[in-house]
Amino acid sequence: MTIYYNHENKFEECCKCYRIIWETLKKTSKIIGDKLDFNFSASIRDVLSNYIGFLVLQPFSQATYKELKELSEREEL
């Protein structure tokens, strides 16, 4: 879905997808290959980078500001 939303310039939806992927990767102990279909990188570092990038690209709102602030205060980054 991230590829589709990126193609459609729907940054908010793309950001949500990357957040879900990132949170799932943090919780799982399963080993996932670094590259998936469509040359999609499943590395937790790349997913986090894309999550932050799409968070910044979406229109500014209180929700965006709150999410960026919460993300910056996390210790596990």
Q: What pLDDT digit, counting tens, does each position of 4-55 carry?
A: 988 898 989 999 999 998 888 888 766 666 666 666 777 888 889 889 998 9
Neighbours of 54 (CB within 10 A): 22
| Total count of domains within the chain | 1
pTM for the structure as a whole: 0.75
- Please state the φ and ψ torsions of residue 41, each to the nearest 5 degrees: -85, 125
CA–CA distance, 2 with 67 (Å, rounded to integer):
19
Range of the domain at 59: 2-73
